[in-house]
Amino acid sequence: IVEGLMTTVHSITATQKTVDGPSMKDWRGGRAASFNIIPSSTGAARAVGKVLSSLNGKLTGMSFRVPTVDVSVVDLAARLENKASYDEIKAAIKEESEGKLKGISGYTEDEVVSTDFVGDCRSSIFDAKAGI
């Protein structure tokens, strides 16, 4: 990965307001969580760089808070150093999810929605049909 943009879509968090009110962080953060899609900043891209040092400084990100109670989504758009088709990317992710990352990372080609992941103990699941 040469550079990338991570867009995270987060469920409601405990720090969000149930009705419109003041926020110490920003105006949008004070808006009612159960009625709005709220754009926000995210530290996810920086966090990835701390865990995967080869990506440090290569990712930027933005976040949306959405009115769901569980499950979040990350959309990653990346510019790669070496050309790779989407099928090649899927195959590599599937192989890792069935190998050394089994039980930690998952892969699905099912037509899933967020509630299908509630209670899943894996830290991430790659949704092959959601990509382009």
What is the DSSP secondary structure assignment for residue 28, as one 8-state letter?
G
Q: Where in the chain is the domain with CATH 3.30.360.10?
A: 1-82
pLDDT tens for the chain, 132 residues long, are 999 999 999 999 888 898 999 988 888 989 999 999 999 888 898 899 999 999 999 999 999 999 998 999 999 999 999 999 999 999 999 999 999 999 999 999 999 999 999 999 999 999 999 988
Single-letter amino acid, residue 13 = T
Indicate the helix (H) or strand (E) that contains 6.
Answer: strand 3-10
Question: Which residues are CB-neighbours of 98 under 8 A, at least 6 positions away?
Answer: 107
* Burial of 120 per CB tally in 10 Å (0-12, 13-18, 19+): exposed
CB 41 within 8 A of CB 89: no
How far is the C-alpha of 127 from the C-alpha of 71, rounded, in Å?
13
The pTM is what? 0.85
Q: Which residues are bridge partners to 60 per DSSP? A: 5
CATH number among 3.40.1260.10, 3.30.360.10, 3.40.50.300, 3.30.70.260, domain 1-82:
3.30.360.10
